[in-house]
Amino acid sequence: MKLRLGARGSALSRVQAEWVARALAQRADVEIVTIRTTGDRLSAAGAPIGWKGDFTKELDAALLGHEIDLAVHSLKDVPSALPPGVALAAVPKREDPADVLVASPRRAFAELPPGARVGTSSPRRRAQLLAARPDLDVFDARGNVDTRLRRLAEGKWDAIVLARAGLARLGRLGDICDVFAPEILLPAIGQGALAVVARADDPAVGDVLSSIEDGASRSEVAAERSLLAGLEAGCHAPVAGLARASAGRVSLTGAVFSPDGRRMLRESAEDAAGRAAELGRALAERLLARGAAGILAEATA
């Protein structure tokens, strides 16, 4: 079976696509098709990303137009509602979803001096960094992973915060100086997971992709994405969530933050893995009942 796999123009997306191609090699001949997205162009220019769909919409259009047969994304870049006709066909085994610190010179988070310049483009990370260390100066750090690491080496910041999964896939785990516990820095929704999407009416491709599906990872991201959808929070909202699936159960912790990190609501719960989406919705309702909507409105105003 011949399949055309769409991937973004970034180095990380290419690595992800090559992994999918290798994983499917025994069942399909996979050709990687590079499609430059709006998100790629904005990121290269150092401009802010308007919404998560900026990283996916061109690939979705190519998929629905039968130019490609499937596409791979970092799941945290995928909007909580997929376009009609596009299905989340496979969630492979998830990488460690933790956030990590890369510093120059090398040192741990607790060793950063007061006033240290820490770079991140994520409102979620910014809020939690300031909650843990209000003495830090947190700056915007845009661009792909290689760009941020280069600017760190050039002295633009004293440290940057990145996803461990991206560094793992790029073979750069040696750059990590510290790994944040979720109690300090709760990850982004879907962080560490890949999303392989296909046309909803293409069962042949869905059958091929079943070979790389991981049930536990699917349950985890279902809970997290349902939490995000229930909060009706966009990509600029400081929302975090981490689910863990084991032995037929899934636990979920979710949180919302004010931009300065001074206000935080956090809730945890668990349920059967088959009820992961219901768990996410229930946790969102608990956060909303405690005033999450007001905090999110402040963050996105």
| pLDDT (0 to 100) of residue 46 | 59
| pLDDT (0 to 100) of residue 44 | 58
Q: Is the dihedral of CA 230, 270, 186, 89 positive or negative?
A: negative
Beta bridge partners of 199: 86
| pLDDT (0 to 100) of residue 52 | 58
Q: How far is CA 142 from CA 23, 67, 83, 121, 158, in A?
A: 31, 30, 27, 6, 15
| pLDDT (0 to 100) of residue 110 | 98
Task: Name 65's Cβ contacts closer than 8 Å, sequence gap at least 6.
Answer: none
More confident residue, 47 or 180: 180
Average of per-residue pLDDT values in the chain? 93
**For residue 201, what are its two tokens?**
């009416």
Residue 15 has pLDDT above 80, yes or no: yes
Query: What is the mean pLDDT of the segment spanning 105-117?
Result: 98
Residue type (1 letter), 247: A
251/245 Cα distance (integer angstroms)? 6
110/86 Cα distance (integer angstroms)? 44
Whats the size of the chain, residue-wise? 301
pLDDT level of residue 50 (50, 70, 90 thresholds):
low
Residue 256 has pLDDT above 70, yes or no: yes
What share of the chain in percent tops pLDDT 90? 84
What domains, with CATH codes, occur in the chain? Answer: 1-92+193-213 (3.40.190.10), 99-179 (3.40.190.10), 215-301 (3.30.160.40)
Query: What is the mean pLDDT of the segment spanning 23-28?
Result: 96
- Quote the pTM value: 0.92
**Contact between residue 73 and residue 37 where contact means Cβ atoms under 8 Å apart:** no
Residue 49 has pLDDT above 70, yes or no: no
**Which of 42-51, 53-62, 234-243 is predicted least confidently?**
42-51
**Contact between residue 215 and residue 272 where contact means Cβ atoms under 8 Å apart:** no
**For residue 277, what are its two tokens?**
């989406």
| pLDDT (0 to 100) of residue 234 | 64
pLDDT level of residue 286 (50, 70, 90 thresholds):
very high
155/268 Cα distance (integer angstroms)? 39
Which is the catalytic residue, given 40, 77, 158, 178?
A: 77
**Which of 73-87, 173-187, 191-205, 268-282 is predicted least confidently?**
73-87
How does pLDDT run across 202-240, given as a tens digit for each residue? Answer: 999 999 999 999 999 999 999 999 999 999 876 568 999
Is 77 catalytic? The answer is yes
How does pLDDT run across 154-178, given as a tens digit for each residue? Answer: 999 999 999 999 999 999 999 999 9
| pLDDT (0 to 100) of residue 81 | 87
pLDDT level of residue 55 (50, 70, 90 thresholds):
confident
Per residue, what are the HEC states of the chain?
Answer: CEEEEEECCCHHHHHHHHHHHHHCCCCCEEEEEECCCHHHHHHHCCCCCCCHHHHCHHHHHHHHCCCCCEEEEEHHHCCCCCCCCEEEEECCCCCCCCEEEEECCCCCHHHCCCCCEEECCCHHHHHHHHHHCCCCEEECCCCCHHHHHHHHHCCCCCEEEEEHHHHHHCCCHHHCCEECCCCCCCCCCCCCCEEEEEECCCHHHHHHHHHHCCHHHHHHHHHHHHHHHHHCCCCCCCEEEEEEEECCEEEEEEEEECCCCCCEEEEEEEEEHHHHHHHHHHHHHHHHHCCHHHHHHHHHC
Q: How many CA atoms lie within 13 A of 94 on its CB side?
A: 23
